[in-house]
């Protein structure tokens, strides 16, 4: 006799960020379809506002969590903890910035309209779900919501490069999703559940002989491959330069920020939160992935001449840094005093996502002016044409290089600190040295902007909303860099997660 | 702890140039003269404050004075902790004095007056960074300043330098950043290991770490080398020196003056403050290595300087040799030698700074720095030649001028503990005379040819800028006591700290016996 279905109780307020995002997406589509073209920029503003209000709601929920402690939602499907809210805030902030940048990018093209913003909001919802998922199936649903929207966005420009990028991303991403899903299936076979809490409970209550650990290990391996693809960690990074380069720049910004945040949040949920009992199995793998990403990312970034490809490889090396934090989190995962690894990864993610959106926003301004060329020569003489823009670029690039008094330094310091605290000295040294190699790349862009002779004398127009996004990103970068306590005061709560 | 410490003097020394830099950056673009005005006022103000501090400094105390301490990033145990003692005092004053001279006295190597604004903004930011590095008593804070200095220097070399500037600037940035990469990991490891071994909590405070933590010998050595790589690149110690000739030669004059005057001292100062103080055992253990590299640097720098055809490169290589002396004195572990090293840091800053300044003047007049293109300048510009002579003799280390005091103290102090190294190093003094006098002979003596006949004499403004340099050179050469008596207590405390930690007994100069022919005084 089938069990009677009992509807889980739903705490609607705790779900409000997701609801707001979905409502925003649907509202844009429906109202946008029924009304004549809106005034310039209004689509962007509406989607930025939607994302912002979802972020603000997440902050309120964070307060609730701080009072009532972490728990789960909707019958254990979603986690209700500071981790989820932090990811939501980071995703919403990045989405809002990307929405602002998108306006000028699509203006006057066939893409101008509500659709692209609806897709952005839907993708962001998927990312938020990934960060909050307490069940592997929910995680997969979030991942697909994000990915499907991103495939469309990547191919949204009807150019050969754009189509190629979309197609590549779709095929390889689909493959990775399949691998991930297979991993989930195997893990289910070994652990008899897809719920993170139940998985952990099962490992706690059984010894290895009672369960099928080979299935768990095989599932773990496939999960790491699938997640490695999504975070663009070497050697699963090969799609990223082509896709980053071919996709429209605002979409690339979204991929590099929201995509990375979501994928890493999912990785933390799966590895650190669900599988702490296998930390000694997955930690060495992460170690290798981290080093490979750091070395490959920084080395290959240096030899590129296309700015978007450079930033793609630099994001691979940033993924390496984040994996250093994941590795650090793996030393004492699941223990009451689990170290700072998890927090440092989340802090890094939130800071990096703002940085990278700001950087790509400047790329949109400069490269649109240069007739769509994303070659580094487009930046030549930017310091003469637009000194303030060049200064913002410098701040953002220095932050990516990890120079002190920028948020990038705070992020790197946190990750390296957690690695050193676990005595992972080798990985910390390799990470820092590869950061120096990567710094050469940022210097190259700065040299071009400040020291090269201008190939163009006409200053590029800076659209208001893009300018606002750049200014916000630069200000966050400097303020957090000078006074990191603003952010760090919040992050202590992150280590008490729900499952 | 000082009575007059109510006024946050050290914080002001760091913040005022930083604020000045911001003001310059915000000054109206169409009025470039405002930029220079703000820069002048700010840097002169900082200079005045630093000189006032010199006066208020209690010369009998080896403790940190003018201490200012506020929590900064509490979640990581980091505080805004500044203080100055005899070791850093004169470096702070030198920084305070050198920057206004560089700002007032040297015109940016510029084609467009609107580019003055970023130039002065970067210079002031550089001053803030250098000041901060010298007064930080918190490892995190020190690292932040040590690293932030790279950015303005990079832009100064890259933006206002000479023909090969971009390559030189990039090399400079990457070399130093590579060193810092190791230091960062080492700083963190020091803090965590210290908290596990004796301190019981996470703190980046230098004094707490040095006094409270103890490291196992092998651990301490690893940690020390993490720091040492960063400092060795910055000094630079041979074989890590290759960035220096390029950076010096391509940098604008003010950049070279600052680079030679104070920035290289970040390395030697770092060795004293963070190497010897935090890891006495490791520093003692590794001293043969540093002494050997120092001596190689002295000889190699001198020989390389002799071979240079470019006057600026010659001075750059002479820096390698001079800094070798400082490193030698540092790792000799006697009060005299370390006092000499600290003094020589300042001396080198003054004399090499002045040399770069004068080479810059020659370039400005003749648009060449090649020794072969210059001849007989003494005939056409006797005052200029006289000033150059004084500065050069100070750099050689002639008695009666400042260079002699420092070098002599280093050599005599090191003789007790590092005899054979000193024997080799002493030949470097002769070589210094060789390359500088030979260069002087080729540039200033002889009959001026057609192009050199119109070489203008020293101008008033240039003379006013050189005057403080020459004043310091002569004053400390004749009467070094006020300087030495301020340095000595801090050095004494440092040696005592080393002795406490390692059981090392400092040999006394009077105890030299003639029959001890082959010992090294251990």
Mean pLDDT, to the nearest integer, of B423-434? Answer: 88
Using a CB–CB cutoff of 8 Å, tell me whether A426 touches chain B.
no
Q: Is B66 helix (H, G, I), strand (E, B) or coil?
A: strand
Q: Is the pLDDT of residue B73 over 50?
A: yes
CA distance B441 to A177: 77
> pLDDT of A440-462, one tens digit each?
888 888 888 887 777 667 888 88
* Residue at A1 is within a domain: no
* Residue at A447 is within a domain: yes
CA distance A97 to A466: 8
pLDDT of res. B516 = 45
Confidence tier at B517 by pLDDT (50, 70, 90): very low
Mean pLDDT, to the nearest integer, of A137-149? Answer: 94
Residues A31 and A47 sit within 8 Å (Cβ to Cβ)? no
CA distance A477 to A356: 11
Mean pLDDT, to the nearest integer, of B251-276? Answer: 89
Neighbours of A309 (CB within 10 A): 21
Q: Is the pLDDT of residue B513 over 60?
A: no
Using a CB–CB cutoff of 8 Å, tell me whether B184 touches chain A.
yes
Least confident of A175-179, A296-300, A353-357, B454-458: B454-458
Instruction: Count the domains in chain A.
Output: 1
CB contact under 8 A, B173 and A443: yes
Using a CB–CB cutoff of 8 Å, tell me whether B112 touches chain A.
no
Confidence tier at B297 by pLDDT (50, 70, 90): very high
CA distance B395 to B432: 8
Closest Cα in chain A, distance from residue B122 (Å)? 12
Confidence tier at B72 by pLDDT (50, 70, 90): confident
Closest Cα in chain A, distance from residue B144 (Å)? 5
CA distance B467 to B473: 10
pLDDT of res. B1 = 43
Averaged pLDDT score across all residues of chain A: 89
CA distance B238 to B224: 18
Averaged pLDDT score across all residues of chain B: 86
Q: Is the pLDDT of residue B519 over 60?
A: no
Mean pLDDT, to the nearest integer, of B486-494? Answer: 89
A-interface mutation test, from B171, B185, B250, most A Cβ less than 10 A away:
B185
Confidence tier at B163 by pLDDT (50, 70, 90): confident
CB contact under 8 A, A403 and B148: yes
Token code pair at residue B180: 């810092």
CA distance B53 to B451: 47
pLDDT of res. A135 = 92
Residues B197 and B213 sit within 8 Å (Cβ to Cβ)? yes
Q: Is the pLDDT of residue B120 over 50?
A: yes
CA distance B327 to B235: 9
CA distance A28 to A119: 10
Using a CB–CB cutoff of 8 Å, tell me whether A425 touches chain B.
yes
Confidence tier at B451 by pLDDT (50, 70, 90): confident
* Residue at A4 is within a domain: no
Q: Residue B366 carries which DSSP code? A: H
Using a CB–CB cutoff of 8 Å, tell me whether A403 touches chain B.
yes
Mean pLDDT, to the nearest integer, of B404-412? Answer: 89
Closest CA in chain A for residue B144: A404
A211-220 core/surface letters (b: 16 or more CB in 10 A; e: else): bebebbbbbb
pLDDT of res. B416 = 84
Which residue would you say has higher pLDDT here, B324 or B508? B324
Strands A78-80 and A71-73: antiparallel
CA distance B394 to B390: 6
Q: Is the pLDDT of residue A336 over 80?
A: no
Mean pLDDT, to the nearest integer, of A349-357? Answer: 94
Nearest residue, CB atoms, A433 vs list B148, B165, B181: B181
Least confident of A85-94, A218-227, A230-239, B5-14: B5-14
Token code pair at residue B382: 């006797």
Q: Is the pLDDT of residue B4 over 70?
A: no
Name the B residues in 326-365 with CB < 8 Å from any A CB.
none
CB contact under 8 A, B181 and A425: no
pLDDT of res. A489 = 76
Residues A357 and A101 sit within 8 Å (Cβ to Cβ)? yes
Which residue would you say has higher pLDDT here, A338 or B358? B358
Q: Is the pLDDT of residue A421 over 90?
A: no
Using a CB–CB cutoff of 8 Å, tell me whether A447 touches chain B.
yes
Token code pair at residue B143: 């690292």
> pLDDT of A405-415, one tens digit each?
899 999 999 99
pLDDT of res. A494 = 76
- Sequence-ordered list of residues with C-beta below 8 angstroms from that of B423, at least 6 positions apart, any chain: none
Q: Is B190 helix (H, G, I), strand (E, B) or coil?
A: helix
A-interface mutation test, from B75, B193, B202, most A Cβ less than 10 A away:
B75
CA distance A258 to A94: 6
One DSSP character per residue, A59-99 reads HHHHHHHHHH--EEETTTTEEESHHHHHHHHHHHHHHHHHH
CB contact under 8 A, A435 and B181: yes
Q: Distances in Å between the alpha carbon of A28 and those of A22, A114, A115, A124, B243?
A: 10, 6, 8, 15, 57
Using a CB–CB cutoff of 8 Å, tell me whether A443 touches chain B.
yes
Residues A304 and A318 sit within 8 Å (Cβ to Cβ)? no
CA-based R_g, chain A, Å: 22
pLDDT of res. B111 = 67
Confidence tier at A176 by pLDDT (50, 70, 90): very high
User: Of A24, A172, A147, A35, which Cα lies nearest the Cα of A92?
Assistant: A24
CA distance A427 to A292: 11
Residue B73 bridge partners (DSSP): B78
Residues A197 and A134 sit within 8 Å (Cβ to Cβ)? yes
- Sequence-ordered list of residues with C-beta below 8 angstroms from that of B273, at least 6 positions apart, any chain: B87, B88, B206
pLDDT of res. A1 = 52
* Residue at A8 is within a domain: no
Q: ipTM of this predicted complex? A: 0.84
CB contact under 8 A, A443 and B154: yes
Q: Is the pLDDT of residue B112 over 80?
A: no
pLDDT of res. B92 = 92
Share above pLDDT 70 across residues of chain A, in percent, rounded to a whole number: 98
Sign, CA torsion A136/A142/A148/A152: negative
> pLDDT of B46-56, one tens digit each?
999 999 888 88
- Sequence-ordered list of residues with C-beta below 8 angstroms from that of A458, at least 6 positions apart, any chain: A369, A385
Closest Cα in chain A, distance from residue B175 (Å)? 9
Find how far residue A256's CA is from the centre of its chain: 6
- Phi, psi of B241, rounded to the nearest 5 degrees: -90, 0
> Structural domain of residue A332, as residue ranges?
13-495
* Residue at A136 is within a domain: yes
Q: Contacts of residue B76 in chain A, CB cutoff 8 Å?
A: 417, 484, 488
pLDDT of res. A30 = 92
Write down the residue that tokens 């170690």 correspond to. Answer: A287
> pLDDT of B329-372, one tens digit each?
999 888 889 999 999 999 999 999 999 988 888 888 888 888 88
CA distance B452 to A36: 79
User: Counting beta carbons within 10 angstroms of the beta carbon of residue B37, is it exposed (0 to 12), middle (13 to 18) or buried (19 or more)?
Assistant: middle
CA distance B141 to A328: 24
CB contact under 8 A, A450 and B147: no
CA distance B104 to B94: 16
Residues B131 and B25 sit within 8 Å (Cβ to Cβ)? no
- Sequence-ordered list of residues with C-beta below 8 angstroms from that of B320, at least 6 positions apart, any chain: B236, B238, B241, B244, B297, B300, B301, B304, B305
User: Of A413, A232, A442, which Cα lies nearest the Cα of A320?
Assistant: A232
Q: Is the pLDDT of residue A309 over 60?
A: yes
């Amino acid at each position: 006799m089938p069990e009677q279905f009992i509807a889980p109780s739903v705490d609607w307020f705790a779900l409000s960020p997701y609801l707001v995002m979905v409502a925003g997406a649907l509202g844009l589509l429906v109202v946008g379809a029924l009304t004549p073209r809106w005034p310039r920029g209004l689509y962007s503003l509406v989607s930025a506002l939607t994302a912002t209000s979802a972020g603000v709601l997440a902050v309120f929920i964070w307060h609730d969590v701080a009072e009532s402690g972490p728990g789960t939602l909707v019958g254990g499907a979603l986690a209700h903890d500071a981790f989820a809210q932090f990811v939501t805030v980071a995703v919403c902030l990045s989405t809002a910035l990307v929405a602002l940048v998108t306006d000028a990018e699509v203006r006057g093209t066939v893409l101008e309209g509500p659709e692209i913003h609806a897709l952005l909001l839907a993708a962001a919802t998927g990312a938020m779900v990934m960060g909050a998922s307490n069940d592997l199936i929910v995680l997969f649903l979030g991942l697909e919501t994000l990915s499907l929207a991103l495939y469309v966005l990547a191919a949204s420009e009807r150019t050969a490069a754009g189509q190629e990028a979309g197609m590549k991303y779709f095929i390889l991403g689909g493959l990775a999703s399949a691998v991930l899903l297979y991993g989930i299936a195997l893990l289910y076979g070994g652990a008899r559940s897809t719920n993170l809490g139940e998985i952990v409970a099962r490992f706690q209550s059984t010894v290895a002989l009672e369960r099928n650990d080979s299935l768990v290990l095989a599932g773990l391996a496939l999960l790491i491959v699938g997640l490695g693809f999504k975070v663009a960690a070497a050697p699963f990074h090969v799609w990223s330069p082509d896709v980053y380069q071919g996709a429209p720049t605002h979409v690339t910004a979204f991929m590099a920020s929201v995509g990375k945040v979501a994928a890493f949040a999912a990785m933390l949920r799966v590895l650190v939160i669900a599988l702490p009992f296998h930390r000694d199995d997955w930690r060495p793998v992460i170690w290798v992935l981290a080093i490979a990403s750091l070395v490959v990312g920084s080395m290959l970034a240096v030899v590129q001449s296309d700015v978007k490809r450079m930033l793609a490889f630099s994001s691979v090396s940033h993924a390496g840094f984040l994996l250093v934090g994941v590795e650090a989190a793996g030393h004492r995962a699941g223990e009451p005093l689990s170290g700072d690894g998890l927090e440092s990864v989340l802090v890094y993610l939130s800071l990096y996502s703002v940085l990278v959106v700001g950087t790509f926003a400047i790329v949109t301004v400069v490269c649109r002016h240069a007739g769509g060329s994303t070659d580094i020569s487009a930046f030549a003489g930017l310091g003469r044409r637009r000194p303030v823009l060049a200064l913002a670029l410098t701040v953002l690039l220095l932050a990516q290089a990890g120079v002190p008094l920028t948020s990038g330094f705070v992020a790197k310091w946190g990750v390296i600190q957690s690695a050193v605290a676990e005595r992972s000295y080798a990985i910390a040294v390799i990470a820092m040295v590869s950061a120096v190699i990567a710094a050469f790349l940022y210097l190259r862009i700065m040299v071009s902007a400040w020291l090269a002779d201008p190939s163009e004398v006409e200053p590029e127009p800076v659209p208001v909303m893009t300018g606002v996004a750049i200014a916000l990103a630069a200000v966050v970068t400097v303020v957090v860099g000078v006074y990191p306590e603003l952010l760090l005061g919040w992050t202590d709560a992150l280590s008490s997660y729900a499952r | 702890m000082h009575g007059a410490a109510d006024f946050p003097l050290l914080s002001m020394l760091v913040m005022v140039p930083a604020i000045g830099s911001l003001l310059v950056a915000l000054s109206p673009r169409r009025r470039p003269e405002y930029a220079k005005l703000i820069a002048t006022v700010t840097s002169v103000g900082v200079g005045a404050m630093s000189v006032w501090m010199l006066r208020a400094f209690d010369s009998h105390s080896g403790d940190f004075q003018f201490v200012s301490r506020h929590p900064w990033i509490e979640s990581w145990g980091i505080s805004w902790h500044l203080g100055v003692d005899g070791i850093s005092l004169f470096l702070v004053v030198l920084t305070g004095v050198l920057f206004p001279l560089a700002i007032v006295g040297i015109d940016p190597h510029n084609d467009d007056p609107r580019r003055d604004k970023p130039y002065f903004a970067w210079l002031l930011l550089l001053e803030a960074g250098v000041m901060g590095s010298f007064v930080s008593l918190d490892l995190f804070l020190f690292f932040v300043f040590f690293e932030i200095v790279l950015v303005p220097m990079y832009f100064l070399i890259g933006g206002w330098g000479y023909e090969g500037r971009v390559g030189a600037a990039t090399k400079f940035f990457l070399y130093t950043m590579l060193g810092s990469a190791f230091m960062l990991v080492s700083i963190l490891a020091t803090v965590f290991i210290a908290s596990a071994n004796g301190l019981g909590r996470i703190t980046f405070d230098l004094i707490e770490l040095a006094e409270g933590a103890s490291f196992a010998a092998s651990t301490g050595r690893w940690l020390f080398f993490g720091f040492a790589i960063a400092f060795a690149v910055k000094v630079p110690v041979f074989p890590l020196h290759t960035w220096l000739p390029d950076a010096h030669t391509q940098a604008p004059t003010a950049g070279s003056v600052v680079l030679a005057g104070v920035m290289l001292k970040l390395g030697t100062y770092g060795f004293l403050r963070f190497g010897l103080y935090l890891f006495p055992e490791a520093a003692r253990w590794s001293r043969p290595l540093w002494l050997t590299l120092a001596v190689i640097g002295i000889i190699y720098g001198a020989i390389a300087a002799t071979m240079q055809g470019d006057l600026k490169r010659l001075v750059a290589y002479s820096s390698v040799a001079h800094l070798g002396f400082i490193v030698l004195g540092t790792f000799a572990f006697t009060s005299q030698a370390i006092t000499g090293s600290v003094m020589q840091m300042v001396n080198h800053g003054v004399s090499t700074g002045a040399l770069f300044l004068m080479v810059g003047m020659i370039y400005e007049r003749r648009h060449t720095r090649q020794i072969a293109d210059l001849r007989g300048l003494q005939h056409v510009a006797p005052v200029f030649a006289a000033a150059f002579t004084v500065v050069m003799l100070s750099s050689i280390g002639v008695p009666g001028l400042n260079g002699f005091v420092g070098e002599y103290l280093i050599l005599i102090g090191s003789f007790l503990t590092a005899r054979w190294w000193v024997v080799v190093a002493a030949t470097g003094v002769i070589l210094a005379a060789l390359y500088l006098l030979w260069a002087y002979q080729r540039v200033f003596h002889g009959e001026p040819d057609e192009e050199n006949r119109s070489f203008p004499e020293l101008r008033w403004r240039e003379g006013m800028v050189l005057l403080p340099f020459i004043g310091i050179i002569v004053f400390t050469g004749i009467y070094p006591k006020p300087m030495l008596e301020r340095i000595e207590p801090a050095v004494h405390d440092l040696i005592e700290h080393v002795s406490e930690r390692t059981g090392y007994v400092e040999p006394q100069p009077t105890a030299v016996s003639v029959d001890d022919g082959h010992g090294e005084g251990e």
